[in-house]
Amino acid sequence: MAYTEHELEQELKDKEYEYGFYTDIESDTLPPGLNEDIVIAISKRKNEPDWMTEWRLEAYRHWKTMAEPNWANVGYEKPDYQNISYYSAPNKKPKYESLDEVDPELLDTFNKLGISLDEQKKLAGVAVDVVMDSVSVATTFKKNLAEKGIIFCSISEAISEHPELVKKYIGSVVPPKDNFFAALNSAVFSDGSFCYIPKGVRCPMELSTYFRINQAGTGQFERTLVIAEESSYVSYLEGCTAPMRDENQLHAAVVELVALDNAEIKYSTVQNWFPGNKEGKGGVFNFVTKRGLCEKNAKISWTQVETGSAVTWKYPSCVLKGDNSVGEFYSIAVTNNFQQADTGTKMVHLGKNTKSTIISKGISAGQSQNSYRGLVQVNKRAENARNFSQCDSLLMGNKCGAHTFPYIEAKNKTAQIEHEATTSKIGEDQIFYCNQRGIDTEKAIALIVNGFSKEVLNKLPMEFAVEAQKLLEISLEGSVG
Amino acid sequence: MSLKDKLISSFLAFEENIDLENDIHTQRDSAIKYFENTGFPTKKDEAWKYTSLNSILKEDYSIFPKKEFALDYKDVKKYFIHDIDTYTIVFVDGIYSSHLSSTTHDKFDACLMSSALNKAKYKSIIDTYFNKATPEDSLVSLNTAFTREGAYIRVPKNVAAEKPVQIINFSTGSETALMVQPRNLIIAEDGSQLQIIERHQSLTDNAVLTNSVTEVFVGKNANVDYYKIQNDKTSASLIDSTYVKQDRDSVASVHTFSLGGKLTRNNLNFYQNGENINSILKGVTILEDKQHVDHNTLVHHQQPNCESHQDYKGIFSDKSVGVFNGKVYVDKIAQKTDAYQSNNNILIDDTSTCNSKPQLEIFADDVKCSHGCTIGQLDNEALYYLQTRGIPYKEARALLMFAFANNVLDSVKIPEIKKRITKQIALKIGVELGFDL
């Protein structure tokens, strides 16, 4: 039977969130609300040193003076920041040495995700720092990494064990006063990951974390800090799914990357939080600040597959400070039903001979709105800066929207900047061509969407590509074969 | 007193001064109120992100020119496109200059806004068209509040205007600082044709601020071709807002040549109200010496099967700033839209800046929308190639710059304008090309 675009649309609409389950682990939750006492309480609970408490308080005081921004092309009901519980930690908190000790319920959760720790362990060298509701409960392969001098732990552990590193770098790329959500995060971040690669070390495995928002009504505020010393290399993966919840959950993370001279950081994200049901009810608010700093000859590469969240507001950026540094951004953003995404990147060229590449693919279906917003800035001293940007949008159905807001600013005559954007739908002729050759419409659409996103999917590390494919399937089921 | 306060307090005096019938009084009233509430735009407004009006608003502008200033034709002849026969509507310091103008009421009307506003026979037209294409905007409101003079052109059904119409605004500097607010209304009825050339020219080094608003209505099957020549002194600033409303099967094109002026802001909006409409927006910008030009365009596709083409080229040197902020908006029902937007820029040196923000907002799925934007420099290899063939460096550069700007000049339909712009560009680059493009 012929599979029409209309049927696809219908199927997309009816598609429910497959991963909507909820792990029943007792949590130790602070009462909702935000004031200096709460900030101090979070800091106390995590046994942080005084300088950290003070740092949080300063961020909080500044946050109080800031207004929530509203320039993004998204509409949503602003969360009541006094009605959110800012801390929730799993109660049973033993330090696991092996998987056997891990709460079976937790393991079950990951089994449902199809990415069990067992499997992960067997798979070629993926160390998983599992963040379950803000506090790290399991860290594997730590010993392996420690031999190389690599520090990979939760940020709270890093604060107590490597304060000199944290003190030096935290807030150096995303200052606490950077924006509303970064300030909020700086004040109340509960946990996150910390990664330090020493000089000249090539991290032998892909480092990865899985974030889950698990406790109803608790926003999750992770803080990730990745430091790559001179001539080192690390590939970092981050992936997330969240259980189905009716009320909106706020997620305001901060990710900071520091790539010193000749270092390379590859940061990949697969995001599949609950996008809300097909009436647009519920879903996660994803307001994330991600930024990387490149010193001389350094390279930072962001790859993201965004399929979830009701509202996404996220611009992984690169500050190309050192000469010859390289920034890359590869993104697929899929929106369906009532999802809204305003995502893109910022490439700030400061050093000479800096290069940046932006490839952004947006797919909108249902009644969703998908925006690309990007900044390419070439400063006066950035001789021979080079940028190439390409933003393609694919529209499925005529109830959705695709928007492009590129900002291009050049102050140096040697700058070479190219920006291209296209918007299209899947052509009837393309489908007809496939049909002629015996490929049915469903497969044809799958083929075309796959081809459309291939440039970005190719950039994902092997371990992630499988999952990314899976997430695309969920978001646009019936279209990916 | 800030300029805003001065304008608001002058408004009452202005209303008393002019012997208008108060037909548009309520419009003026609500317009000044709107302006009072919003004030001048600042860099915090997204549409004004890259352009600050602060430097031009601090002058103490006189809002009503004190006396009429007579100009001799031979002194200002060079500012006219004089080698072809045209109708001309000339204003000196915002006041109509009858001896420099040649208006008509023959086959079509090319006359004055003041008479259109005052005479009873135009009342129905003013009611239908005046202030109907403009969006809510503080600068437009300011202009509406102070509307008194400007060009009024109306081409009746199925008439082709036999000559182009030139609208020229001179400022003479009889005041130390002058603010003028011309208001033009252009109506091309169904099946008509019209060509317009518009120019703002200051004759002194005294500061001039022009806040001009033009409404253009293009009827079914009509064709309007509009040329804006902006080559003013570095003491003169221009805020030009042009709103074009098109009916089905019509074609409208606006060419903007920004070659000078202290600060120039072009708000150019097209609204497509029918099917099979074609809108063409083209511009060449060549700047130096701290000049600032901001092109802010919008094409709103409201109906299916329409086209729009935007092509803006910029060459910037010596502390100049170029801004392009283009927007294509495609409504849900505007299927089969074909919209193209291109912005190419060359930075000659490191003191100049270029900011570009080409935007697409698309709500229909069966469309072909694309945009491209580049910032770069002249191709060194092409330059070398020309030099090896005996073309001196300077001429070779000029040639390449011409080539760069050429496809905008290509679509200019009046040869004299093309010739003149070519000359002006050559003059700017400082070479004798020895041929016409």
Residues sharing a CB contact under 8 Å with residue A115, sequence separation 6 or more, in sequence order: A210, A239, A467
Q: The tokens of B387 are what?
A: 């030099």
* pLDDT of A24 strictly over 60: no
Mean pLDDT of A370-375: 90
Percent of chain A whose pLDDT exceeds 70: 74
The Cα A86–Cα A221 span in angstroms is 8
Q: How far is A212 from chain B (nearest CA, A)?
A: 33
Cβ distance of B362 and A402 shorter than 8 Å: yes
Closest CA to B170 of B248, B88, B111, B107: B88
Name the residue with tokens 């040197």: B317
Q: A117 or A54: which carries more pLDDT confidence?
A: A54
Mean pLDDT of A225-248: 75
Q: Centre a 10 Å sphere on the Cβ of residue A279 and count the other Cβ atoms it contains.
A: 8
Mean pLDDT of B115-119: 81
Percent of chain A whose pLDDT exceeds 90: 17
Cβ distance of B353 and A409 shorter than 8 Å: yes
Average pLDDT, chain A: 77
Confidence band of A309 (pLDDT split at 50, 70, 90): confident
Confidence band of A6 (pLDDT split at 50, 70, 90): low
**A 69-108 residues inside an 8 A Cβ radius of B:** 71
Mean pLDDT of B12-35: 75
Confidence band of A216 (pLDDT split at 50, 70, 90): very low
Cβ distance of B359 and A405 shorter than 8 Å: yes
Closest CA to B351 of B378, B321, B323: B321
Percent of chain B whose pLDDT exceeds 70: 95
Mean pLDDT of A90-99: 45
Q: What is the pLDDT of residue A70?
A: 80
Q: A124 or B43: which carries more pLDDT confidence?
A: B43
Confidence band of A217 (pLDDT split at 50, 70, 90): very low
Of A400, A419, A425, the CB nearest to B373: A419
Q: What is the pTM of this model?
A: 0.80
Query: In chain A, what is the straight-line distance between the N-terminal and C-terminal CA atoms, in Å?
Result: 16
Closest CA to B154 of B97, B183, B116: B116
Q: What is the pLDDT of residue A126?
A: 43
Residues sharing a CB contact under 8 Å with residue A203, sequence separation 6 or more, in sequence order: A145, A148, A150, A197, A232, A233, A234, A235
The Cα B111–Cα B187 span in angstroms is 12
The Cα A269–Cα A461 span in angstroms is 10
Q: For an interface test with A, which of B46, B330, B350, B381 has the most A Cβ atoms less than 10 Å from its Cβ?
A: B350
Q: What is the pLDDT of residues A329-357, one digit of tens each?
A: 999 888 888 888 899 999 999 999 999 99
Q: How far is A231 from chain B (nearest CA, A)?
A: 32
Highest mean pLDDT among A445-459, B163-177, B220-234, B403-417: B220-234
All residues of chain B having their beta carbon less than 8 Å from the beta carbon of residue A400 are 363, 365
Mean pLDDT of A125-136: 46
Residue A480 lies in a domain: no
The Cα A170–Cα B86 span in angstroms is 69
Contacts 24+ apart (CB under 8 A), B41-46: B41/B138, B41/B139, B46/A71
Say if CB A423 and CB A393 are below 8 A apart. yes
The Cα B246–Cα B188 span in angstroms is 10
The Cα A246–Cα B278 span in angstroms is 48
The Cα A117–Cα A429 span in angstroms is 45
The Cα B319–Cα B348 span in angstroms is 10
Provide the 3-class DSSP secondary structure of residue B312.
Answer: strand
Mean pLDDT of A293-303: 92
Q: How far is B351 from chain A (nearest CA, A)?
A: 7
B25: burial class by Cβ within 10 Å (0-12, 13-18, 19+)?
A: exposed
Q: The tokens of A137 are what?
A: 């409960």
Mean pLDDT of A226-251: 75
Confidence band of A154 (pLDDT split at 50, 70, 90): confident
Q: The tokens of B261 are what?
A: 């002026």
Q: B272 or B100: which carries more pLDDT confidence?
A: B272
Q: What is the pLDDT of residue A458?
A: 80
Average pLDDT, chain B: 86
All residues of chain B having their beta carbon less than 8 Å from the beta carbon of residue A419 are 356, 358, 371-374
Parent domain of A130: 5-475
Q: What is the pLDDT of residues B153-170, one digit of tens each?
A: 999 999 988 889 999 988
Q: A280 or A336: which carries more pLDDT confidence?
A: A336
Q: What is the pLDDT of residues B372-392, one digit of tens each?
A: 888 888 888 999 999 999 988
Mean pLDDT of A175-185: 87
* Partners of B227 in beta bridges: B197, B255
Q: The tokens of A384 are what?
A: 């021979």
Q: What is the pLDDT of residue A82?
A: 80
Cβ distance of B348 and A413 shorter than 8 Å: yes
Of B335, B347, B372, the CB nearest to A412: B347
Q: The tokens of B245 are what?
A: 């409303």
Confidence band of A481 (pLDDT split at 50, 70, 90): very low
Confidence band of A189 (pLDDT split at 50, 70, 90): confident
B21: burial class by Cβ within 10 Å (0-12, 13-18, 19+)?
A: exposed
Q: What is the pLDDT of residue B214?
A: 93
Q: Centre a 10 Å sphere on the Cβ of residue A160 and count the other Cβ atoms it contains.
A: 14
Q: B259 or A46: which carries more pLDDT confidence?
A: B259
- How many separate domains does chain A show? 1
Look at B245-254, B336-345, B414-423 and tell me which has the smallest mean pLDDT: B414-423
In B84-205, DSSP assigns E strands to: 87-92, 95-96, 109-112, 151-155, 165-171, 177-180, 183-188, 193-202
* pLDDT of A95 strictly over 60: no
Q: What is the pLDDT of residue B364?
A: 85
Instruction: Quote the DSSP letter at residue A19.
Output: T
Alpha helix (H) residue ranges in A80-171? 104-113, 117-122, 142-147, 155-161, 163-169
Q: Centre a 10 Å sphere on the Cβ of residue A114 and count the other Cβ atoms it contains.
A: 11
* pLDDT of A144 strictly over 80: no
